[in-house]
Amino acid sequence: MTYTFEPVGVIRSPYREKFGIPRQPSLVDAARLTLELLPPYNHPDCVRGLEAFSHVWIQFVFHQTMARGWQPLVRPPRLGGNAKVGVFASRATHRPNPIGLSLVELLAVETDDGARLRLAGADLLDGTPVLDVKPYIPFVEARPEARGGFVDGPPPQLDVHWSDAALGQLAALSDPPAGLAALIEQVLAQDPRPAYQDDPARIYGVVLHQYNIRFNIHAGRAEILEIQTLAQN
Ligand code: SAM
């Protein structure tokens, strides 16, 4: 038996590439995303009453990586990148059905000219197709006594430092998106490097909005070296 689903909406996100996206929602609460609902799901009736909820579940397709298929065992970054667990014991993107699930804060529901949801803290790539939205119901779904397996708390955070050059470039940006500095700092504090990489000489780039943020990581500290403005397509 096969089932066919179509997206009800698409995500607009500052995360333009996979590298640098937090590994779970709410780790970078400075991220502001929009879920644009698509016709016919963008009728105001479809979201009536949703504004009463503070958080929503977003079900989405890992569309950028789904062509790579799946493996029964995966190496979660939280286990250092070597130990393996079963795909169903992980939140890995490569799954038999490449469907993701993120709990995100709902900031606003807008119904002028279609319908869109303003979201905070989501871990989603720009262009992600969304299959469904459901309100989060705290009395059923908040389980503080639950065991978290190998994910027993938030990941360690790096200190983040701005070089003078990057600070100058930030100040010189014309009309930057609101909260850009906080977004950069929170993303880098997550340590976006793959689990097995620790090369202080290596310079990385994370693309946020239309900016390439160049940085390196040394002795537990991320240094922001440069902000490059990319050509918009
Ligand atoms: N919270 C979700 C879950 O548990 O299903 C996602 C967890 S998954 C580990 C989070 C990662 O998915 C992000 O760090 C990003 O690299 C990746 N990702 C986000 N949107 C994606 C997309 N549309 N296609 C492929 N990968 C995506």
Ligand 1 contact, 102 CB (< 6 A): yes
- Residue 53: band (very low, low, confident or very high) from pLDDT cuts 50, 70, 90: very high
Of 17, 10, 13, 68, the residue nearest 39 (C-alpha) = 10
pLDDT value for 45: 98
pLDDT value for 233: 65
pLDDT value for 32: 98
How far away, in angstroms, is 56 Cα from ligand 1 center? 16
Output DSSP code: residue 15: B
pLDDT value for 172: 97
Calpha distance 213→19 (Å, rounded)? 11
Ligand 1 contact, 25 CB (< 6 A): yes
- Residues of the chain with pLDDT > 90: what percent? 90
pLDDT value for 207: 98
pLDDT score of 104 more than 80? yes
pLDDT value for 198: 83
Neighbours of 117 (CB within 10 A): 24
pLDDT value for 117: 98
Chain-wide mean pLDDT for the chain? 96
Rounded average pLDDT over 204-225 = 96
pLDDT value for 195: 75
Ligand 1 contact, 128 CB (< 6 A): yes
Ligand 1 contact, 183 CB (< 6 A): no
Tally the residues of the chain.
233
pLDDT value for 75: 94
Geometric angle at alpha carbon 33, from 29 and 137, rounded to 5°: 70
Ligand 1 contact, 215 CB (< 6 A): no
Q: Structure pTM?
A: 0.96
